[in-house]
Every structure is written in structure tokens, then in C-alpha cells.
Amino acid sequence: MGRLSGKVAIVTGSGRGIGRGVATLFASEGAAVVVASRTASTVEAVVSELQARGGRALGVRCDVGRKEQVDAMTTAAVAEFGAIDILVNVAQGFGTREQPTPFPQPRALEAISDAEWDFTLGTGLMGTLWCMRAAFPYMKDRGGKIINFGSLAGQRGSAATAAYNVTKEAIRALTRTAAREWGRYRINVNVINPAARSRALDEYQRNNPPKTDPAAQVPLGRLGDALTDIAPAALFLASSDADYITGMTLMVDGGLLILP
């Protein structure tokens, strides 16, 4: 306990799923956590839960696809807790701004609309970039940890999810570049590529039943859990144990994509 004592962490997309798992574990390890998500009700629920357990938490309704909201979130975090030590970028939108969806709609590359490209890239790549740029001034003189989220779909080039794939691979490229440029400021920037149960995956499978059980493809025989499998990897990267790791992609996928 207490591996993040005295630290301030922003976790985007923390109203549910992996982001919620990360926020929960970080708070239990002593961090003051900014819970940020587009849906006010889920933000409030997570903040109440963390505070009930004795954690310090601030809820901010934030659409990371809106730069002004990202800047406001950062300002609120510093006003409340005085610093930003850790940034975890989990948030990702699907569909279009006018018609958001809980998961990527399977479409052929040539059939994906410009509006879907704009929203997917805007909430994923641009949202991650805007959060990183907003946090940078507060990390520049004290160091910090930035943890972004990629996807196996991007590495594989999975069919029918081109916008999502491109977004997640662009985030990995952004991460590597930031690691090179910001290392001089003791800012570590890494990526987690998870294979875990999530609302998006469950919704996708309900609408597009898989021919085989996805867990059967995982060497460890199961999909990960947001709190007990993915969040501990984020905790490692956020802690002093990972001070000499930057620009890396950490595969937390049960061996689903084993690379040389």
C-alpha cells in the first residue's frame, strides 16, 4: 500500500472499465485521483466510491475530444491538488459525435465515413495529445509518468475497424516521440496494450457474436480483468519501479499477441 502516496493522477475514461480500475487502484495506493469522463453520473459514482474507501478524488466531466474541456480539467486538477504527477489516457470514443456508439461499428475501410474518422481520431489521438500537452507544463520541472493506451487491433490491423486501428497505432507513435523529447525532463511515456473484458467488448460481441470464444485464443486461457490485471500494470508504470522505462509498449494480454 502507498506506492503512489503524495502523487496526483489524472485518469481519463475512468467512469467505467479499464479507466475505473486504474483510478480505483491508484487511489488505494495513496494517489489523489482526478476521475474524468464524458458522463457526469459515472464520474460521480466513481468519486463517491473512492471517497467512501478513504481516497482523495475529484470528479471532472470531460470530453477529451474538446480541447477546451481538457484544459479545464487540467486547471481543476491543479487547483484542487496542486500538481500533476501521473496522466493515464484511457478515454476513446466510437461512432460519430452526432451518434456515438459503445464500440467500433464493423465497417469496410472504404465505407467508414469522414465523420467517424474525425470522432475516433479526435477522442483518441487528439484527446491523448491534448491531455499530454496540458499536463506537460506541470511535469516539466518535477518529472512525471504518462501512460497511454493502445490496442492489439492496431498492431494486427484487424479487419473492419480501420479508424480505431489507425488511432491506436498513432497513439503509440506519439508515445515514442514524446518519450524521446521529454526524457530530459524525467517524464516517462509508455503504452499499455490490453486484452481485457470491457463494456465495449461485451457490446461488440452481443451485436457481432464471435465464432469462437475469444478467451480460447489467449494462452493463459482468459481475458484480463480491469482491476486485477490491467490496473496493476499501470501502477507499475506510474511508480518509481519504472523510472528507467520509457517509449515502450507493455503487452498486458495474457500472451494473445506474442512478438519476438
Which residues are marked as active site? 164
E-state strands within the chain: 8-12, 32-37, 56-61, 86-89, 94-95, 100-101, 144-149, 187-194, 249-252
Helix then strand then coil, in percent of the chain rounded to 5, is 50, 15, 35
Q: Note the Cα 31 to chain centre separation in Å.
A: 17
Inter-residue contact 27 to 59 (CB < 8 Å):
no
Give CA–CA dist 110/186, Å, rounded: 42
Closest CA to 11 of 3, 20, 2: 20
CA distances from 96 to 16, 92, 106, 254, 256 (A): 20, 12, 14, 32, 30
Amino acid at 1: M
Give CA–CA dist 260/257, Å, rounded: 10
